[in-house]
C-alpha cells in the first residue's frame, strides 16, 4: 500500500525546535520529490518546503526560510522537517506530500498530518 | 510572486446540481494548475493536474478547463460526498507552489 505517515508533532514553546518525520512505503521513494505543506487552524493550505528525489535540491517558503530545514534519507524512505526558532504563527497541521513524476508540483500522495502547537 | 484568487469563497448548491469553481492567476501560468479537494478532518486529495488531467481514481464528473490566467473546476452533478473545500495550486516544475485561498462548497 502506498502511504506516507507523519510523526513528531506536539506542543513547543516559542523559540523552540521540533523535528517532524514522514515515513514512506509502497513506492520507489528516491524517484519522487517530497514536500511539506501546512494548514493553520481554520485556514487554507500553505506550501512550506521541497526536496528533490536524488539530487537533494531544497526550496523553502519565505515564511520559513532560514528557520526550517528539509532533508531526506532515501535508504530509510523518510523525509524530515527540522523546525527551529518556532513562532506562534507556525501552529498548524503539517502534511508531507509527494510530487508526481510527470508533474512534480502536483501532490498525489499525502500523509494524514501531524499537529504542531507553538504556545507558551 | 504569482497569486491565485479563487471565487466564490462559498458556493451553496444542492445534490445533483452542477458546480463551477473559479481560479484566477495574477499572471500567466500556462496550464500549470492543480485542483485539490479537502473534506473535514482529512488530508487534501489531488483531483486534477495540468488544468484538465484527472488524477488516478478521480470520477469523471470532475473536469477542469482553462489556460493562462483563468481556470475552472466543474463538477457535473454533485454527489453528497463532494461537499468540501476545494483549492487550486500553481504546480510549476519548481517551487514555490502557491495555493489559492479555497472555495467551500456547501449543501444548500
Q: What percent of chain B has pLDDT over 70?
A: 100
Cβ atoms within 10 A of the Cβ of A91, count? 17
Whether A108 and B90 lie within 8 Å, measured CB to CB: no
pLDDT of residue B94: 85
Contact B49 A100 (CB under 8 A): yes
Closest CA in chain B for residue A6: B43
For residue A20, the model assigns a pLDDT of 98
The dihedral sign for the CA sequence A99, B105, A94, A57: positive
Q: Give yes or no for a cis peptide into B96 (omega within 30° of 0).
A: yes
Q: Is the pLDDT confidence value at B4 over 80? A: yes
Q: Who among A45, A59, A61 is closest to B44 (CB)? A: A45
Write down how long chain B is.
108
Distance, in Å, from the CA atom of A19 to the CA atom of A67, rounded to the nearest integer, reads 12
Residue of A nearest to B47 (CA): A108
Neighbours of B83 (CB within 10 A): 20
Question: Phi and psi dihedrals of A61, rounded to 5?
Answer: -70, 150
Contact (Cβ atoms closer than 8 angstroms) between residue A58 and residue A81: no
Question: Could you list the pLDDT tens digit for every one of the 120 residues in chain A?
Answer: 999 999 999 999 999 999 999 999 999 999 999 999 999 999 999 999 999 998 679 999 999 999 999 999 999 999 999 999 999 999 999 999 999 988 989 999 999 999 999 999
Average pLDDT, chain B: 97
In this predicted model, what pLDDT tens digit does every residue of B44-70 receive, in sequence order? 999 999 999 999 999 999 999 999 999
Contact between B102 and A111 using a beta-carbon 8 Å cutoff: no
Mean pLDDT of B84-101: 94
Q: B43: which chain A residues are within 8 Å (Cβ-Cβ)?
A: 95, 110-113
pLDDT at A23: 98
Residue B99 has pLDDT above 80, yes or no: yes
* Cα–Cα distance list, B26 to A88, B14, B47 (Å): 30, 31, 22
In degrees, rounded to 5, the angle at the alpha carbon of residue A42 between the alpha carbons of residues A100 and B84 is 60
C-alpha angle A84/B94/B97, rounded to 5°? Answer: 65
Identify the three-state secondary structure at position A31. helix
Interchain contact A108–B (C-beta under 8 A): yes
pLDDT value of position B93: 82
**Cβ separation of B101 and A111 shorter than 8 Å?**
no
Of B43, B99, B102, the CB nearest to A112: B43
Phi, psi torsion values for B81, nearest 5 degrees: -75, -5
Reading across the β-sheet that carries B70-75, which strands appear in turn? B4-7, B19-25, B70-75, B62-67
Amino acid at each position: 500500500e502506498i502511504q506516507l505517515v507523519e510523526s513528531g508533532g506536539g506542543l513547543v514553546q516559542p523559540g523552540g525546535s521540533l523535528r517532524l518525520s514522514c515515513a514512506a512505503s509502497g513506492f520507489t521513494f528516491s524517484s519522487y520529490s517530497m514536500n511539506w505543506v501546512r494548514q493553520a487552524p481554520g485556514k487554507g493550505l500553505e506550501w512550506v518546503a521541497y526536496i528533490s528525489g536524488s539530487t537533494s535540491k531544497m526550496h523553502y517558503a519565505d515564511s520559513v526560510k532560514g528557520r526550517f530545514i528539509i532533508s531526506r534519507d532515501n535508504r530509510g524512505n523518510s523525509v524530515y522537517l527540522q523546525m527551529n526558532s518556532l513562532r506562534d504563527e507556525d501552529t498548524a497541521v503539517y502534511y508531507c506530500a509527494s510530487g508526481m513524476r510527470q508533474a512534480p508540483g502536483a501532490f498525489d500522495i499525502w500523509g494524514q498530518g501531524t499537529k504542531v502547537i507553538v504556545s507558551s | 510572486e504569482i497569486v491565485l484568487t479563487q471565487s466564490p469563497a462559498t458556493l451553496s448548491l444542492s445534490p445533483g446540481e452542477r458546480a463551477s469553481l473559479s481560479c484566477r492567476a495574477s499572471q500567466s501560468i500556462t496550464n500549470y494548475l492543480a485542483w485539490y479537494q479537502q473534506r473535514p478532518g482529512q488530508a487534501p486529495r489531488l483531483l486534477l493536474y495540468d488544468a484538465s488531467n484527472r488524477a488516478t481514481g478521480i470520477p469523471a464528473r470532475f473536469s477542469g478547463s482553462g489556460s493562462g490566467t483563468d481556470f475552472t473546476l466543474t463538477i457535473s452533478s454533485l454527489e453528497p460526498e463532494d461537499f468540501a473545500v476545494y483549492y487550486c495550486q500553481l504546480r510549476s516544475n519548481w517551487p514555490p507552489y502557491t495555493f489559492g485561498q479555497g472555495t467551500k462548497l456547501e449543501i444548500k
